[in-house]
Amino acid sequence: MVSFEISDRLKSLPPYLFAEIDRMKAEKIKEGVKIIDFGVGDPDLPTPPHIVEALCNAAAKEENQKYPSYEGMLRFREAVAEYYMRRKGVRLNPEDEIISLIGSKEGIAHLPLAFVNPGDYVLVSDPGYPVYSGATILTGGIPYPIRLEEERGFLPDFEKIPPEIAKKAKIMFLNYPNNPTGAMCGKEFIKEAVDFCYDNKIILAHDAAYTDLYFEERPISFLEIDSSFDVVIEFNSLSKTYNMTGWRIAFAAGNREAINGLLKVKTNVDSGVFQAVQEAAIAALTGSDEVIDRNNSIYRERRDVLIEGLKKSGMEVHIPGATFYVWCKVPEKYDSMQFVKKLLNDTGILATPGVGFGEGGEGYIRFALTRDVSVIREAVERLESFEL
């Protein structure tokens, strides 16, 4: 067999930490342990029936069995605009301020290809979704981590970004409500971020995948603050809001230049979103908001049950105002990977080590609330005998 060497770009990516977690999980299953897996951020709730029905009906239409448009059906983009006006009070032009995506991860990963040259900096949240850094590296750019500081409510301090880095940066990736910390941000912080990017001519790429998964106060869209869309492109997804992770349907909205650059990349690397899926997404976006309210009620109950159990076991927990994640501090005598191993070995409970989200995540672990409350109660029972 001929051996083929991977590119230097792939070699420069950080090691895949989660492969070791998968190995540990498989080993425990072989031993007969019933694993309770809180590691994966994939909703266990089913896609609502009216959305599934819309897909089935749309798939039978011959016009939907052809290549779709790159930017997405106008009716889909109009549905996105309607959703943003209804949920956020943001007025978007569906003609040139919205683009369909094959999942928000795809759009986020392709944005640096449109604007980043080798040697340019991209400011990335730390801890943060690994694709921010990975996509930057694959483009030839340099990820510059901006630490989400616990004492600031897991918000970055822009004054700590060296001016010479800011002047060479092309994109800043932020994500609120935040994965992995569950943190939210307010108008004052968003305005500070917008002003910083405006002053330094940086695209502010806001990952808003969890914007409608919240427990008390409604999260604010960055487009509400940057109402003229001077610097913000916001990535949003139906995956978490409507339990549609496998459907691969999302969108980006906001700054026209950023949208156009992303569209130019997409015309060269993909062929758009299956129109039947777009029709199902229209049914989701224009349907009753009871779907969102019901999901949030379920996740709120799960959050409260798990947090109570974690606290009783002696863990220090940050109570999330949004997302379906719970972010916990690791006892000082362990690093995050060591503590995940101990938790798995002692209780059969699997969480995600914070270091998997960057150096800023070291010292924490993440639980995903993607298990039925009955399973969470079982996990809480196991935690009663867990010794830190």
Residue 20, pLDDT score: 81
Query: Rounded to an integer, what distance in angstroms lies between the CA atom of residue 261 and that of residue 143?
Result: 20
Q: What is the pLDDT averaged over residues 262-274? A: 96
- Predicted confidence band of residue 316 (pLDDT cuts 50, 70, 90): very high
Is the pLDDT at 16 greater than 80? The verdict is no
List phi, psi (to 5°) of 7. Answer: -70, 160
CA distance 304 to 42: 19
Q: What value does the mean pLDDT of the chain take?
A: 96
- pLDDT for residue 19 is more than 80: no
> What's the average model confidence in pLDDT over 205-216?
97
Opening angle at CA 245, ends 56 and 372, nearest 5: 105
> How distant, in Å, are the alpha carbons of 2, 247, 281, 314 from that of 212?
49, 18, 15, 31
Beta bridge partners of 327: 318, 366
Q: Is the separation of the CB atoms in 232 and 92 below 8 Å?
A: no
Domains, in order of start, for the chain: 8-46+291-383 (3.90.1150.10), 49-286 (3.40.640.10)
Q: What pTM value is reported for the model? A: 0.96
| Number of neighbouring beta carbons within 10 Å of residue 176 | 28
The C-alpha atoms of residue 20 and residue 113 are separated, in whole angstroms, by 30
